[in-house]
Chains A and B, each alone.
Chain A
Amino acid sequence: MLSFLRRQVGLRTDAASSNGSLHAKIAHMTATLPGRLAYASDTLRLSADTQRSVTDVSSYTLVKEVQVNVPGYIRLSWEGNRSDTFSGNRFAICVNNVVVIGDINPGSVSPSFTTHTYDIPVKAGDVIGLLAKTDDNNTVTVRNFRIYYDVGNSPVVGLD
């Protein structure tokens, strides 16, 4: 029994390994996890393409939601439109139920769509939501909600 436990736990000097002893696995996690950061890029990672609409809702209403499990920056895009030019038609992005970018004009009047894209900082486990609001029997429509990023050992952003 004791020798079994010794093999499983291993020694503090064990080399880092994803399939070694407990000490080796912890060393492997320490060497790999902290440096894994997302940076916004052109690489598509997730698509939530189903079309959703809100009609006559004067406060922000959740229309799309995703959870991001890596820290760093992600690029968020979606297509949206509205049924008319009513100034109360708006989108917003929230992180963990807190609006971080608001008052986004939907742009196109139905049936055409405008694509909106933003880079936002995230922490592992953050829940990113897309909100919409309208009023006076208008409709705001969303589709092709997408997330783009790459993962590396350091985030890379603009240089000047």
Chain B
Amino acid sequence: MYARVPAIDGVPQVGRIRLVAGVSISPTEAVAIIDGPLQPGWVELTEEEYLAAGGSLPT
């Protein structure tokens, strides 16, 4: 799923949840594709919102 998650220096802080791809949108936030449940404070995004925020799809 696509999500906006907290970040440190742009690196998504998703712990042990599988991170398929992540791209920073600020030093403290990133958009990401994750394989796991949303955590409190994370915001689910649509694919369009993810791409519009600067996310890229792994190939």
Contacts and interface: CB of A to CB of B under 8 A. Distances in A.
B11 A158 contact: no
Interface stretch (A29-37, A51-59, A103-111, A124-132): A103-111
Contact of A116 (B22, B35, B36): B22
Contact of A119 (B20, B24, B56): B20
Nearest to B7: A115
Contacts of B21: 116-118
Interface string B1-45: 000000111111111111111111000001010111100000000
B37 A159 contact: yes
Interface residues of A, number: 30
Contact of A105 (B18, B37, B56): B56
B58 A115 contact: no
A41 B23 contact: no
A117 B32 contact: yes
Given A117-B22, A158-B18, A158-B37, A146 B11 contact: yes
Interface of B: 7-24, 30, 32, 34-37, 54, 56, 58-59
Interface of A: 39-42, 73, 75, 77, 79, 101-105, 107, 113-119, 144, 146, 148, 150, 156-160
29 contacts: A39-B16, A40-B18, A41-B16, A42-B11, A75-B19, A104-B56, A107-B23, A107-B54, A107-B56, A114-B54, A115-B7, A115-B10, A115-B23, A115-B24, A115-B30, A116-B22, A116-B23, A116-B24, A117-B22, A117-B32, A118-B21, A119-B20, A157-B16, A158-B34, A158-B36, A158-B37, A159-B36, A160-B36, A160-B37
